[in-house]
Amino acid sequence: MEKKINRREKECEEKHSNSEGSEQEKDYKTSLVTLNVGGYLYITQKQTLTKYPDSFLEGIINGKIMCPCDAEGHYFIDRDGLLFRHILNFLRNGELLLPEGFRENQLLAQEADFFQLKVLSDAVKSRWEKEQLASRETTFLEITDSHDRSQGLRIFCNAPDFIAKIKSRIVLVSKSRLDGFPEEFSVSSNIIQFKYFIKSENGTRLVLKEDNTFVCTLETLKFEAIMTALKCGFRLLTSLDCSKGSIVHSDALHFIK
C-alpha cells in the first residue's frame, strides 16, 4: 500500500515538473519575435525591442502601432534591412558600436529618427560631426633627424586613424631593423625622430651607430608609407615638393581617400 502511494506521488511530481517545463518553454518561445526589415529577417526577444518606451519598435510589440505582416506572418518594416543590424545592436548593447571604416552615418541617423530612438540619433550625429571636423584637419607625420629636422620625410593625410596606422607600421619596420636598440629613435604624437641620418652615394640612410651601421633608407620608409596607404584605400594626391622631380626624391607625401 505504501509503495503504491509513493509511486503515485512520484508520478504527480513528474507531471507537475513536465507541466512547468512546457510552460517555461512556451513562455520562452512567445518571447521571441521575427522581424522582416526590408527583406532581411531578424530574430530577437521582445524585451530587446521594448527597451526604449515610446519608440517605434516598442509601439509595435505592445500593440500601439499597427504593422503589416509578410506571407510568413512576421512583422514587416519597409526600411533598410542592412542598417537595421546596427539599430538592433544598439538596443542589445545600449551604446553605439560601429565597424571600423563605417561611412553611412547620415543614413543611420535617418533610420534612428524613423525608429524614434533619440539617444541613438544623437550618438550617430555626434559621431558624424566629429568625423567631418577631423576630415577638414590635415594630419601629418614627420620622420626626421634629431639633429637636423630639415632632413627627413613628411606624410600628410586628412584621416588621423590612417596616420596612427602608418606610424605604427614604420615603427615596427624600424624596430625590426634596429635589432634590439629601439632607444636609437623616439616617437611622439606626430614625429618619429631618429638619432642619426647620414648622406651617402646611395642616398639618405638611417643608421644605428656612429660607425654607419646600415638600418634602412628613407626610400624604404616611403615605400612602406605608399603601400600601407594603397592597402587602406587611399591614393597619393601629389608630392608636396614637386621640385625634386620624383616621388622617391620628394620630402613629403600627401594621401587622400
pLDDT of amino acid 210: 44
Cα(139)–Cα(141) distance, integer angstroms: 7
Residue 144 host element (H or E): strand 139-145
**Inter-residue contact 54 to 12 (CB < 8 Å):** no
pLDDT of amino acid 178: 45
Q: Confirm whether 3 is domain-assigned.
A: no
Q: 202 with 130, same domain?
A: no
Which residues form the domain of 208?
140-175+182-256
Q: Confirm whether 210 is domain-assigned.
A: yes
Residue with cell 624596430: 175
For residue 75, give the CATH number of its domain.
Answer: 3.30.710.10
pLDDT of amino acid 46: 95
Q: Confirm whether 158 is domain-assigned.
A: yes
Q: 91 with 171, same domain?
A: no
Instruction: Encode pLDDT of 189-206 as tens digits.
Output: 777 776 655 444 454 444
Q: 150 with 243, same domain?
A: yes
Q: 93 with 159, same domain?
A: no
pLDDT of amino acid 103: 85
pLDDT of amino acid 30: 65
Q: 144 with 252, same domain?
A: yes
Q: 243 with 145, same domain?
A: yes
Cα(144)–Cα(116) distance, integer angstroms: 52
pLDDT of amino acid 57: 96
Q: Confirm whether 10 is domain-assigned.
A: no
Q: Confirm whether 2 is domain-assigned.
A: no
Taking 70 as the pLDDT cut, the residues of the chain under it are: 1-30, 133-138, 145-151, 173-185, 194-220, 238-249
pLDDT of amino acid 22: 53
What mean pLDDT value characterizes the chain? 75
Alpha carbons within 13 angstroms on the beta-carbon side of residue 107 total 11
**Inter-residue contact 105 to 124 (CB < 8 Å):** yes
Reading phi first (left if > 0) and then psi (alpha if -120 to 50, else beta), residue 63 is in left
pLDDT of amino acid 120: 95
Is 108 exposed, middle or buried (CB count within 10 Å of its CB: 0-12, 13-18, 19+)? buried
**Inter-residue contact 124 to 111 (CB < 8 Å):** no
